[in-house]
Amino acid sequence: MKAVPETRAASRQMGRQTLRVASALGADAFISELARAVDDGLTPGHHAAVFGAALGRAGAEPQVVAGAYLHSTAALLVGAGLRLVALGQVDGQRVLASMRPRIARLAAGAAAASAEDMWSFNPGLELAGLRHAALDARLFRS
């Protein structure tokens, strides 16, 4: 669950977009049914779940899916950093490249984890997100 409304909305929007792309790329009954369930409000369709379902249905191995998701998340964060600080594109790519070993390690761990292992507890991050939403001026939506 995402406690911050803006973060929740952004995750659901990215999930819907990912489902649209996955649906357009080929006929897959599971992806089509998932898209209908999201459209009907039966499931939230958060980006991480949809991303995993789409790549899993395409035949990607769990470690590859986890690595791709982590890399895309890191790339988004680096992109945000490029807009916030005086960091050039090359330096941004260096930061992203330096994350490769960590991404590979985390992807391997995620691929081997059970459903019971998949949880997080970040109250500081959630509180910061709630405070961010109340600011008069913001650089980012979520």
Dihedral over Cα of 98, 100, 103, 105: its sign: negative
Distance from C-alpha of 75 to C-alpha of 96, rounded to nearest angstrom:
7
pTM to 2 decimal places: 0.83
Burial of residue 123, with CB atoms counted within 10 A of its CB: 0-12 exposed, 13-18 middle, 19 or more buried: exposed
SS3 27: coil
Question: Range of 85's domain?
Answer: 5-133
For 82-135, the pLDDT digits (tens) are 988 888 899 999 999 999 999 999 999 999 999 899 888 888 888 888 887 777
> What pLDDT score was predicted for residue 119?
85
N residues, the chain: 142
- Let me know if residue 99 belongs to a domain: yes
> Distance between the two ends of the chain, CA-based, in angstroms?
15
Residue 29 resides in a domain: yes
Report how many domains make up the chain: 1
Residue 23 lies in a domain: yes
Q: Estimate to the nearest angstrom the gap between the alpha carbon of 110 and the chain centroid.
A: 14
In this structure, what are the phi and psi dihedrals at residue 141, rounded to the nearest 5 degrees? -70, -45
Residue 138 lies in a domain: no
Q: Whole-angstrom Cα distance, residue 102 to residue 14?
A: 24
Position 141 in a domain: no
